[in-house]
Amino acid sequence: MANYIKIKAVDINHANQLSDILIGGVTSVFQGVANGTGSANEWTVYTESGKSYKFSTTGKAKEWANQFIAAATANPGGPLAIVQNSTGVKITDVVVA
């Protein structure tokens, strides 16, 4: 996987998030959450540091999760990969835990 994955600010429609998001050390990506709870609206990224990033993308969680996975695996060992959003839906919420 690429060392860092970037989501461009233009793909985010959240009042408190005005910059790009950069996530490193990705270990897994799920539609919904890791316990198997799927969601049409949410997808989650987990990192090796134990952090999770839950994104809300109304009606397009599967597509966003797949785009994130594609970015992460497109450049193995590379320094940076950028998620290419082709869904027409922006991220409306981000929860970091």
Percent of the chain with pLDDT over 70: 99
Q: In the prediction, which pLDDT does 14 show?
A: 86
**H/E run at residue 70:** helix 61-74
Determine contact, residues 13/92, Cβ cutoff 8 Å: yes
Provide the b/e sequence for 80-92 (b: ≥16 CB within 10 Å).
ebbbebebebbbe
Domain boundaries, the chain: 4-96
| pLDDT, average across residues 78-82 | 91
Determine contact, residues 81/5, Cβ cutoff 8 Å: yes
16-50 pLDDT, tens digit each: 888 999 999 999 998 887 777 778 899 999 999 99
Judged by DSSP in three states, 42 sits in strand
Q: In the prediction, which pLDDT does 4 show?
A: 93
